[in-house]
Amino acid sequence: MRPTRVLLAPLLALAGLGALAGEAAAQNFFEELFGIGRAARPPVPPRGVPNAAPPAQPGAVPPGAPGAPGAPLDPNAEAQKPAAPAPMRPVVLKAPADDNVVGQDLLLNGLNGSMKMERAGANMTARITLPGTKVSQPTESCSVPLSGGQPVTLTAAGKPDGVARFEAAAAECPLRFEVLEGGVLVTPLGGNPVCTFSAADCATTPSGLWGPGAATLIPRSAEFDTARGVADKAVRENYKVMTQRARREDIRPIVTEQAAFSSDREQVCRTYAREGSHGFCHLRFSEARALALATRLGANTAAPTAAVAPRPRRKPVVDGMNPDAAGGGPIAE
């Protein structure tokens, strides 16, 4: 009987332990079910790992990435930056040749008087007859030939405004001549715009554009219109360059000067013969202005950057014809 008791004692102990484990499992089940067990206790945060990096914040640059603090500089960063806008450059039109009007018969405002410039060796001369009105009878016209009709020697004065300039300072009526394309802009030297010849009883106002008559200009009206668009754009662009380069206190005088240009052009050209039909005077005045601005901006006027030649016109398309085909025959249906 003693061996049986020895075996029975461990079995009873194991049975007791099993009962206790079952009761503990049942207790844990009910505690979790009613929220009074481990689920009711807050979780314990894990312990920090030595030398671990802190968690990344939303939107933060990862360490070591370009632009992050302490990251090496990107050698291509400067090249990736947007380039600064290039400064504007003056627009230069083709300057008229010094002698492009030599031998031509020019009229004041394309109406009256006469001027013919000639080369005399290295010098330039001009035969000029000035139109005017009688001092005693302002309603009657008159004319006075300078130097008795003999050629007047002109002194070259360089190109201070981009076009050739000549002066006749010793003449009875001192004048300045600026050679444009196909015409000459004349202004009096001195403050008086009127030259009076008492012996001839004639008062003359020679200032203005001397150029061809309207009959030779009207057939070229389309050419002048296209070229004027180029010249007006050159004036605007050069005006912008001037304001860009000027100091703040110098901008107002430039704006005033540009506004005066438009009124001066209208004043000069409104009396040119049939100006509204061809636009010759407005074109030449705008070209002179563009060249003057380019010269003041330090541009090389001997190297034009814009052409005033008209663009070739395309032939009109005729219905039923193929303008691109050889012979221009009708399109087969």
Q: pLDDT tens track of the chain, all 333 residues?
A: 455 555 555 555 555 555 555 555 555 655 555 555 555 555 555 565 555 556 656 555 566 555 556 555 555 655 566 665 667 899 999 999 999 999 999 999 999 999 999 998 888 999 999 999 999 999 999 999 999 999 999 999 999 999 999 999 999 999 999 999 999 999 999 888 999 999 999 999 999 999 999 999 999 999 999 999 999 999 999 999 999 999 999 999 999 999 999 999 999 999 999 999 999 999 999 999 999 999 999 998 888 998 754 444 444 444 444 444 444 444 443
Range of the domain at 295: 88-313
- Is residue 77 one of the residues assigned to a domain? no
Residue 84 burial by CB count (10 A; 0-12/13-18/19+): exposed, middle or buried?
Answer: exposed
- Is residue 74 one of the residues assigned to a domain? no
Two structure tokens written together for 105: 């018969």
Beta bridge partners of 115: 106, 128
- Is residue 44 one of the residues assigned to a domain? no
Query: Are the C-beta atoms of 235 and 82 separated by less than 8 Å?
Result: no
pLDDT at 88: 85
pLDDT at 325: 42
Beta bridge partners of 120: 123
pLDDT at 321: 46
pLDDT at 316: 47
C-alpha to C-alpha distance for 195 and 8, rounded to whole angstroms: 153
pLDDT at 15: 56
**Would you give the DSSP letter of residue 153?**
E
Token match 């040749």: residue?
97
C-alpha to C-alpha distance for 311 and 301, rounded to whole angstroms: 22
Closest CA to 92 of 310, 311, 294: 294
3-state secondary structure of 39: helix
Q: What is the DSSP string of 282-326?
A: HHHHHHHHHHHHHHHTT--TTS-SS--SPPPPPPPPPTTB-TTSG
Query: Which residue type does 149 have?
Result: G
Beta bridge partners of 131: 143
* Count: domains in the chain: 1
Two structure tokens written together for 223: 């050419």
C-alpha to C-alpha distance for 54 and 251, rounded to whole angstroms: 58
- Is residue 57 one of the residues assigned to a domain? no
pLDDT at 58: 59
- Is residue 9 one of the residues assigned to a domain? no
Reduced 3-state DSSP string for 168-234 = ECCCCCCEEEEEECCEEEEEECCCCCCEEECCCCEEECCCEEEECCHHHHHHHHHHHHHHHHHHHHH
- Is residue 286 one of the residues assigned to a domain? yes
- Is residue 22 one of the residues assigned to a domain? no
C-alpha to C-alpha distance for 209 and 177, rounded to whole angstroms: 10
- Is residue 249 one of the residues assigned to a domain? yes
List phi, psi (to 5°) of 108.
Answer: -70, 120
